[in-house]
Chains A and B, each alone.
Chain A
């Protein structure tokens, strides 16, 4: 897959489908791969549109050391041929999702920055 040139510099991103647990209510959004993130992050509007219910909370530490409390939600996430159920996510006011290592570590991912391409495999 090609890197997404809407980001500057270009970034590995793809369309993911989010589905509310135990329902068919779903939404497709753009998600950027973020190996720095411990947890997957969704835009708040996606949480609102799916009507997700908080299930827990976590302290999130950002790059400048600030620590904030966030409710966590469980959601089903699928992309390409991969499907992950009840993934714990947090919501933030942003336009796209960030796929964190909670999902990325389940796959073999090759980032070819030189050619601005990436592959995701589950060998």
Chain B
């Protein structure tokens, strides 16, 4: 367990305390804050699950290694516009097809955190816009 300290606007804290007291009773603020943090993590597509943190930390390391060399790769016709796989900080594969590249590197190194991204300027943005009605 981690103990931490945060600074919160006085009025915001009093309003928060009031709501928690009304809805949960006394001495429940900590419980609500933990729930909020958990919900924030889950809404960002992660969960407190076996090995998830280890995977994310390792993939972030590989991603940082990719970002360090990305500009150089963009200028290199051997890599520009293609997908590259980064493992232990080094390029271990390159292909025009992401799925094929993944298959190749997973077969070679095992199903372990390997960062795969396209050598192209900017960030990739996808849309998932469908709003849904939720049942009460």
Contacts and interface: CB of A to CB of B under 8 A. Distances in A.
Q: With a 10 A CB-CB cut-off, give which of A38, A44, A56, A88 has the most chain B CB atoms.
A: A56
B16 interface: no
A7 to B, nearest CB: 8
Interface in B41-80: 42-47, 49-52, 55-56, 59, 63
Contact of A54 (B47, B113, B130): B113
Contact of B126 (A23, A61, A71): A61
Contact of A71 (B45, B50, B112, B124): B45
Interface stretch (B1-9, B28-36, B115-123): B115-123
B125 A70 contact: no
Contact of A36 (B50, B52, B129): B129
Nearest to A90: B45
Chain A's interface: helix, strand, loop or mixed, by majority? strand
A33 to B, nearest CB: 10
A20 B111 contact: yes
A61 B55 contact: no
A71 B56 contact: yes
Interface of A: 8, 20-23, 34, 36-39, 41, 44-45, 48, 51, 53-63, 67-71, 74, 85-88, 90-93, 98, 100
22 contacts: A8-B135, A20-B111, A36-B130, A38-B128, A44-B45, A48-B50, A53-B55, A55-B113, A55-B114, A60-B126, A61-B125, A61-B128, A63-B130, A68-B43, A71-B46, A74-B98, A86-B99, A86-B102, A90-B45, A91-B45, A92-B45, A98-B130
